A = this chain, B = another copy of it.
């Protein structure tokens, strides 16, 4: 029964207003704080202390309009929308519903924004405790939704005095297997643990994790390292939004100087199968290496127009297989050269 943790709620902090000294409020409420503790502080009270509030009408359409404007100003880009839900990437890089803007636990004439720089907030708060002679780590946490799973959990927006990730890469398990892919987001796990003793209604905006072995002396790199960069984000858009982008890609497909390289014949077959039912009956298709030739179903004007539409269908299907194309329209029909994107 050694090596355990305690998760302790900090009660009695009361209302926080702009300009409040959070370290003072927290040490007064928790005189039992000790060196080595990890403080998990709800971002809401950090925002309030820092004055990250926007004044809005208490109700009516003006309130809704103010909320929309506030969301726009906190949004770097929209990830997905459905019904009343808008999931955005904030200027910090967090992907959150409504940019983390919150109307709960605040009077009706204000909205609470996320802290402008949660890692800086965590560092400042840690420094304020250090000035009181306390060596603690600080995590600024908030409640977030997840893709694929119902329910919310608390995660870390900011951190100081603790490494955000615990890295098992390079370690060897007892069977001799290397733990090659395992980096645990421990500040998120600490935030989740702290939420279990905090309350949405109960004015317990801070919890303390005691017994967690911190491995850093300084502030560390903060929670920003948990933000996945665009290049490795496989879910940068909602499915519906990305599918719409694919339609737009088809609408503006460029004639690329495609190298007429050897393309996978199976890819050509899949593209042809995809459009088979949509092509004009009688349109002819001939496949040669690097080239597709299409001939019209008849000699009338309408046949030629339909052939052009068929050719663009096929270009979109080839693009779905990763193949770039160039369309050449001639008197005898259409030639599509295809290959790797230039």
Cα(A252)–Cα(B255), bound, Å: 20
For residue A206, give the distance in angstroms from its CB to the closest CB of chain B.
12
Chain B residue with the shortest CB-CB distance to A208: B4
Cα(A173)–Cα(B202), bound, Å: 8
Residues of chain B within 8 A (CB-CB) of A319 are 247
The 7 closest A-B pairs by CB, nearest first: A246-B246, A308-B308, A151-B185, A250-B250, A193-B193, A242-B242, A304-B304
**12 pairs of residues in contact across A and B, judged by CB atoms under 8 Å:** A149-B228, A150-B227, A154-B189, A189-B193, A196-B212, A241-B242, A243-B243, A243-B245, A247-B319, A250-B250, A309-B315, A312-B312
> Which of B32, B233, B254, B308 lies in contact with A1, CB distance below 8 A?
B32
Which residues of A are in contact with B by a Cβ distance under 8 Å?
A: 1-9, 11, 30, 32, 80, 82, 85, 87, 94-95, 103-108, 143, 146-155, 164-165, 168, 171-177, 179, 182-186, 188-190, 192-193, 195-197, 200-201, 203, 209, 212, 225-228, 233-254, 271, 274-275, 277-278, 300-317, 319-320, 327, 329-331, 333-334
Residues of chain B within 8 A (CB-CB) of A172 are 201
Cα(A247)–Cα(B244), bound, Å: 9
Residues of chain B within 8 A (CB-CB) of A271 are 251
> Which of B244, B252, B313 lies in contact with A246, CB distance below 8 A?
B244
For residue A177, give the distance in angstroms from its CB to the closest CB of chain B.
5
Residues of chain B within 8 A (CB-CB) of A153 are 184-185, 188-189, 192
Cα(A300)–Cα(B329), bound, Å: 10
Cα(A95)–Cα(B319), bound, Å: 28
Chain B residue with the shortest CB-CB distance to A270: B248
Chain B residue with the shortest CB-CB distance to A165: B151
Residues of chain B within 8 A (CB-CB) of A182 are 104, 143, 152, 200
Residues of chain B within 8 A (CB-CB) of A237 are 239, 242-243
Chain B residue with the shortest CB-CB distance to A102: B177
Cα(A182)–Cα(B154), bound, Å: 11
Residues of chain B within 8 A (CB-CB) of A333 are 305
For residue A105, give the distance in angstroms from its CB to the closest CB of chain B.
5
Residues of chain B within 8 A (CB-CB) of A168 are 200-201
Whether A196 touches B197, Cβ cut-off 8 Å, given contacts A242-B239, A246-B244, A275-B251, is no
Q: Is the CB of A277 within 8 A of B304?
A: no
Q: Is the CB of B252 within 8 A of A108?
A: no
Q: Is the CB of A179 within 8 A of B246?
A: no
Q: Is the CB of B175 within 8 A of A226?
A: no
Q: Is the CB of A175 within 8 A of B105?
A: yes
For residue A88, give the distance in angstroms from its CB to the closest CB of chain B.
11
Residues of chain B within 8 A (CB-CB) of A176 are 108
Q: Is the CB of B275 within 8 A of A252?
A: yes
Known: A188-B192, A196-B209, A252-B274. 19 other contacts (CB 8 A): A1-B30, A2-B9, A3-B9, A5-B6, A80-B234, A104-B182, A148-B235, A149-B227, A150-B183, A151-B226, A192-B192, A237-B242, A242-B243, A245-B246, A248-B320, A250-B316, A252-B278, A301-B331, A312-B313
